[in-house]
């Protein structure tokens, strides 16, 4: 706090001036918009982002957050309260980047004012040219006004702004550096606005569709759905998607080669809107919603009958979870109509192979291609606890015991009998495809912001601001001495050469006939200058 030490009595004519909260605030404001603040906030932002990669993030991998809670039951709730599982959405992270953007705006205002002032005024006078470090001089037979005209032409060609002060030519260029730097900083604001707008009014969701089935774009159809704060489900575009066909293929070394869904979009009355293959990096756009291929899996169709042939479970599509490494899928069938209840754990091999065809040491393995599908059925009986919430992909084994001691192995169309006489049939095999559906109305804004960012960044680093002054004075009969001096705000190392080249061009342009005497190239720029040379503007 600034304190006014002058005694009030000393200034009887004016009311005593309070030390000024205003002064303090002004000082704080000046500090806030200084580059040092921006610098510190940038470092803090980087450090805060590191936290977001050290802990699993809710928005990136919720399963791993759950895992973390299971592994560290005492620590996890504390971390959660600190927002460490949602760093990039947390209030304190937001506070950091808003403070940074605030400082940016606070710094842009005076910079804009300064740039406008510079652009409105004429390049300033140079004063005594002899005191400049970077100079070039030559003598010519051309009269002074011709030499000056040549200098004007040369400098204008090099895009300098010109002004004349008492016979001295003043030239300046490189305002683009500051303008571009400001454009770069403004574009960061544009990016953030686009980001916030898209987040608020867009949504993302995932949906699984089985081959041959039609899916309606409604909230209930999504397996996961994360809407923006201002997105109402009533705004979901009215369309349906039909998965006509799904194919996947592999390279000889069993790594995936391609997976493609033939997808047809229909309106609510079933009229076809469009149809195209959807694959990774090849999304489809329907009604402003982008549909991306995201995952796939297998759907064995299973039917269960009791020993008398009475149907306990009509042919049912069993959704299974695929392990991407082995292409083996796991699922569960729950037969609640029998007493005791029966649960079937099913494991689907796309191409079951046995010992000699497998890597050494393995009794059986799986070919990822759909070459020899086999459904392995492990039966359990007891209480399925179906009234409790549970996964559709697995059984709750707590009140189940194994039924029989060996699993059934079924090919498509085959049936097998369990130890209690039940008949399990593997009637058909389909595939399902998982799509990510997303709408982000902020994308065009973000794209413009990113384009402006690049447009601003490069000139803000590479355009250099220069001032050059030229003076031509008679130096004896028929001789004119032309003096150039300059000041470089950036890129000082290269400036000396630039000025020498300018001088040479002026000399040629002024049409002098006498051979030029050795140039006084000024002092050589030492390393010290070079150190001060590269100054970046905020």
Partner 1 sequence: MTPGDLATTSDTLVWLAVLSYVVAATLFGLEFAYRPRWLGVAGLAVTVAGLAANVGAATTRGLAVHRVPWGNMYEFSIIVGIITVTGFLVWVRRRPEIRPLGVFVLLPAVLAMGLGGLVFRVPAGPLVPALNSRWIVIHVAAAITGSSVLCLGAVFSILYLVKDRVERRRRPPAPPLVAGAARTADRVEVDQAVARHAGVWDRLPSADTLDHLAYRTIAFGFPIWTFAIIAGAIWAQSAWGRYWGWDPKETWSFISWTVFAAYLHARATAGWRGRRAAWLAIVGLATLLFNFYAVNTVIVGLHSYGGR
CB of residue 392 to partner 1, shortest distance in Å: 25
Among candidate residues 493, 491, 515, the one with its CA nearest the CA of residue 504: 515
- Per rule CB under 8 A, is residue 228 in the interface with partner 1? no
What proportions of the chain, in percent to the nearest 5, are helix, strand and coil? Answer: 35, 30, 35
Which pairing describes strands 240-250 and 214-216: parallel, antiparallel, or unpaired?
A: antiparallel
Stretch that binds partner 1, among 8-16, 43-51, 363-371, 413-421 (CB under 8 A): 43-51
Nearer to partner 1, 274 or 336 (CB): 274
Which of 45, 216, 321, 376 lies at the binding interface for partner 1 (CB under 8 A)?
A: 45
Identity of the residue, 57 or 431, whose beta carbon is nearer to partner 1 in the bound complex: 57
Residue 88 within binding range of partner 1, rule CB under 8 A: yes
Asked if 457 touches partner 1 (CB under 8 A), the answer is yes
DSSP string, 191-258: HHHHHHHHHHH-EEEEEEEETT-EEE-SGGG-SEEEE-TT--GGGS---EEEEEEEEEEE-TTS-EEE
Three-class secondary structure of residue 189 per DSSP = helix
**Smallest distance, partner 1 to C-beta of residue 213, A:** 22
Q: Would you count residue 180 as binding partner 1 (CB under 8 A)?
A: no
CA-nearest of 69, 68, 318 to 210 is 318
C-alpha triplet 427, 428, 431: angle, nearest 5°: 155
Q: Measured from the CB atom, is 36 or 156 closer to partner 1?
A: 36
Per rule CB under 8 A, is residue 133 in the interface with partner 1?
Answer: no
Show contacts with partner 1 in window 22-41 (CB under 8 A). Answer: 35-36, 38-39
Q: How far is the CB of 102 from partner 1 (least distance, A)?
A: 16
Nearer to partner 1, 420 or 436 (CB): 436
Q: Distance between CA atoms of 441 and 237, rounded to whole angstroms?
A: 13
Least distance CB 368 / partner 1 (angstroms): 13
Residue given tokens 């899916």 in the structure block: 215
Candidate list 123, 283, 382, 509; residue touching partner 1; CB under 8 A: 283
**Complex with partner 1: residue 198 or 512, whichever CB lies closer:** 198
DSSP state of 136: E
DSSP symbols for 301-331: EEEEE-TTS-EEEEEEE---EE-TTT--EEE
Where does this chain touch partner 1 (CB under 8 A) — which range of 228-236, 336-344, 414-422, 440-448?
440-448
Minimum distance from residue 450 beta carbon to partner 1 (Å):
5
Strands (E) located in 440-479: 466-474
| Residue length of the chain | 538
Examine residue 50 and tell whether it contacts partner 1 (CB under 8 A). Answer: yes
CA distance 190 to 206: 29
**412 near partner 1, judged by CB under 8 A:** no
- Choose the stretch contacting partner 1; rule: CB under 8 A; options: 234-242, 252-260, 339-347, 472-480: 252-260
Half-sphere exposure of 425 (CA within 13 A, CB side): 15
Residue from 13, 73, 131, 281 in contact with partner 1 (CB under 8 A): 281
Considering the complex, state which of residue 332 and residue 446 has its C-beta at the smaller distance from partner 1: 446
Per-residue binding letters, 198-217, with partner 1 (x by CB under 8 A): ------x-------------
Q: Which of 18, 166, 220, 255 binds partner 1 (CB under 8 A)?
A: 255
| Contact predicate 85/79, CB 8 Å | yes
Residue 47 main-chain phi, psi, to 5 deg: -65, -40
And the tokens for 98? Answer: 């808003």
Peptide bond into 422 cis (omega under 30): no
Which two three-digit tokens encode residue 10?
């000393």
Q: In sequence order, what are the residues at sequence separation of 6 or more whose Cβ sits closer than 8 angstroms to the Cβ of residue 358?
A: 364, 365
Q: Which of 68-76, 209-217, 310-318, 453-461 is the region at the interface with partner 1 (rule: CB under 8 A)? A: 453-461
Q: Considering the rule CB under 8 A, would residue 102 count as an interface residue with partner 1?
A: no
Give the position of tokens 């309106």.
Answer: 267
| 131 binding partner 1? (CB under 8 A) | no
Count CB atoms within 10 A of the CB of residue 21. Answer: 10
Beta strand 374-382 with 341-349 is: antiparallel
Q: Which of 2, 46, 98, 105 binds partner 1 (CB under 8 A)?
A: 46
Does residue 364 belong to the site contacting partner 1 (CB under 8 A)?
A: no
Quick note: the x/- pattern for partner 1 over 317-356, rule CB under 8 A, is ----------------------------------------
Using CB under 8 A, which of 2, 114, 273, 458 touches partner 1?
A: 458
Q: Is 94 in the site for partner 1 (CB under 8 A)?
A: no
Helix axes 91-120, 21-32, angle to 10 degrees: 90
The C-alpha atoms of residue 22 and residue 123 are separated, in whole angstroms, by 36
* 32, 64, 133, 390: which one binds partner 1 (CB under 8 A): 64
By CB under 8 A, the residues from 492 to 531 that bind partner 1 are 493, 527-528, 530-531
Per CB under 8 A, the list member of 259, 296, 298, 495 interacting with partner 1 is 259
* Binding-site member from 59, 288, 413, 421 for partner 1 (CB under 8 A): 59
Q: Are 239 and 287 a contacting pair, CB within 8 Å?
A: yes
Enter the tokens of residue 287: 């009604």
Can you give the binding site for partner 1, defined by CB under 8 A?
35-36, 38-39, 42-43, 45-46, 49-50, 52-53, 57, 59-61, 64, 88, 195, 204, 251, 253, 255-259, 279-281, 283, 290, 292, 294, 436-438, 440, 443, 446, 450, 453-454, 457-458, 461-462, 493, 527-528, 530-531, 533-538
């Amino acid at each position: 706090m600034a304190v006014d030490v002058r005694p009030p009595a000393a200034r009887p004519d004016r009311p005593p001036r309070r030390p000024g909260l205003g002064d303090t605030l002004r000082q704080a404001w000046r500090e806030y918009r200084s580059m040092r603040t921006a610098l510190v906030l940038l470092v803090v932002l980087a450090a805060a982002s590191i936290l977001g990669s050290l802990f699993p993030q809710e928005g990136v991998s919720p399963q791993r957050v759950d895992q973390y809670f299971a592994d560290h039951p005492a620590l996890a709730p504390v971390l959660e309260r600190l927002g460490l599982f949602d760093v990039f959405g947390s209030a304190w992270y937001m506070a950091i980047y808003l403070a940074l953007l605030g400082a940016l705006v606070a710094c842009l205002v005076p910079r804009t004012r300064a740039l406008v002032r510079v652009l409105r005024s004429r390049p300033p006078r140079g004063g005594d040219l002899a005191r400049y470090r970077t100079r070039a001089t030559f003598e010519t037979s051309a009269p002074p006004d011709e030499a000056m005209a040549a200098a004007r032409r040369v400098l204008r060609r090099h895009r300098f702004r010109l002004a004349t002060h008492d016979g001295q030519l003043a030239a300046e260029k490189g305002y683009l550096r500051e303008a571009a730097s400001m454009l770069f900083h403004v574009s960061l604001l544009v990016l953030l606005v686009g980001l916030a707008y898209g987040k608020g009014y867009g949504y993302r969701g995932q949906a699984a569709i089985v081959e041959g089935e039609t899916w309606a774009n409604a909230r209930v159809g999504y397996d996961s759905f994360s809407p923006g704060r201002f997105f109402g489900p009533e705004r979901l575009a009215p369309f349906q998607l039909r998965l006509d066909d799904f194919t996947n293929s592999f390279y000889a070394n069993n790594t995936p080669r391609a997976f493609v869904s033939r997808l047809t979009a229909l309106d609510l009355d079933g009229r076809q809107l469009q149809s195209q293959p959807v694959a990774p990096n090849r999304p489809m756009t329907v009604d402003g919603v982008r549909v991306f291929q995201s995952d796939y899996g297998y759907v064995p169709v299973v039917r269960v009958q009791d020993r008398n042939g009475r149907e306990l479970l009509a042919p049912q599509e069993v959704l299974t979870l695929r392990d991407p490494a082995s292409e083996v899928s796991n699922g569960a069938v729950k037969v609640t109509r029998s007493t005791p209840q029966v649960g079937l754990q099913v494991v689907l091999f796309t191409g079951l192979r046995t010992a000699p065809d497998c890597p050494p040491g393995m009794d059986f393995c799986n070919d990822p291609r759909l070459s020899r599908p086999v459904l392995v059925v492990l039966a359990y009986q007891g209480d399925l606890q179906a009234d409790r919430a549970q996964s559709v992909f697995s059984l709750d084994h707590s009140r189940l015991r194994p039924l029989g001691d060996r699993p059934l192995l079924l090919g498509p169309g085959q049936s097998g009998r369990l130890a209690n006489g039940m008949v399990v049939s593997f009637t058909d095999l389909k595939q399902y495809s998982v799509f990510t559906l997303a709408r982000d109305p902020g994308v065009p804004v973000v794209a413009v912001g990113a384009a402006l960012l690049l447009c601003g960044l490069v000139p803000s680093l590479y355009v250099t601001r220069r001032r050059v002054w030229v003076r031509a004075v008679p130096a004896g009969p028929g001789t004119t001495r032309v003096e150039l001096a300059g000041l470089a705000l950036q890129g000082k190392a290269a400036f000396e050469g630039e000025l020498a080249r300018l001088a040479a061009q002026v000399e040629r342009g002024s049409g002098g006939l006498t051979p030029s005497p050795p140039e006084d190239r000024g002092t050589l720029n030492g390393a010290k200058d070079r150190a001060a040379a590269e100054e970046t503007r905020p």
